């Protein structure tokens, strides 16, 4: 039942996670070179206001346990390999959400000798969430869009 604290996006997320993944969504956060603004907004998803663990969403330490990568920051050159290896290690269906203007296209740093630019320069991206930084509710909507894009062939439902 919908409570005053539960938004339509949160309800849709809850339903979609059950349809697509069965019961829960595990996320690995990858900071590929952000200023930490996007990371603070992302971590707000776990505070008492958003409390995403109510919906079976949680952040995990290993990409091997993750269904989705949330990547922040334009990718700095020294973190390119770390991002590639994290993507390679992630479990199917390997959804990737680029969070923030830097992750979407390089942001304020752009593409330089030290910065590869957007996350899609290094790994495939399913959803781009713009903003500097994006609000937690926008990040939630990005997660929902990534689940919506998951087709049958990539579905992890057993």
State the residues that interact with ligand SF4 by CB under 6 A.
Answer: 34-35, 37-38, 72-73, 100-102, 107-108, 132-133
**Residues forming beta bridges with residue 28, ordered by sequence position:** 69
Smallest distance, ligand SF4 to C-beta of residue 121, A: 15
Between CA 78 and CA 40 the distance in angstroms is 22
CA angle 10, 14, 16 (to 5 degrees): 110
Smallest distance, ligand SF4 to C-beta of residue 101, A: 4
> Cβ closer to ligand SF4: 27 or 150?
27
Query: Three-state SS for 87?
Result: helix
Q: Shortest Cβ contact with ligand SF4: which residue?
A: 37
> Cβ closer to ligand SF4: 93 or 105?
105
* DSSP designation for 121: G
Written as six digits, the tokens of 116 are 């590869």
> Cβ closer to ligand SF4: 14 or 71?
71
């Amino acid at each position: 039942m919908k409570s005053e604290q539960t938004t339509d996006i949160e309800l849709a997320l809850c339903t979609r996670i059950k349809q697509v993944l069965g019961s829960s969504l595990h996320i690995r956060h990858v900071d590929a070179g952000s200023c930490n603004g996007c990371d603070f907004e992302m971590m707000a998803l776990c505070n008492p206001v958003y409390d995403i663990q109510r919906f079976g969403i949680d952040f995990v330490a290993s990409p091997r346990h993750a269904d989705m990568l949330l990547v922040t920051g334009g990718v700095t050159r020294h973190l390119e390999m770390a991002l590639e290896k994290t993507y390679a290690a992630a479990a199917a269906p390997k959804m990737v959400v680029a969070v923030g203007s830097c992750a979407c296209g390089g942001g304020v740093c752009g593409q330089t000798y030290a910065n590869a630019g957007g996350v899609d320069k290094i790994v495939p991206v399913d959803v781009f969430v713009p903003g500097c930084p994006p609000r937690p509710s926008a990040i939630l909507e990005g997660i929902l869009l990534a689940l919506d894009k998951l087709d049958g062939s990539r579905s992890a439902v057993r």
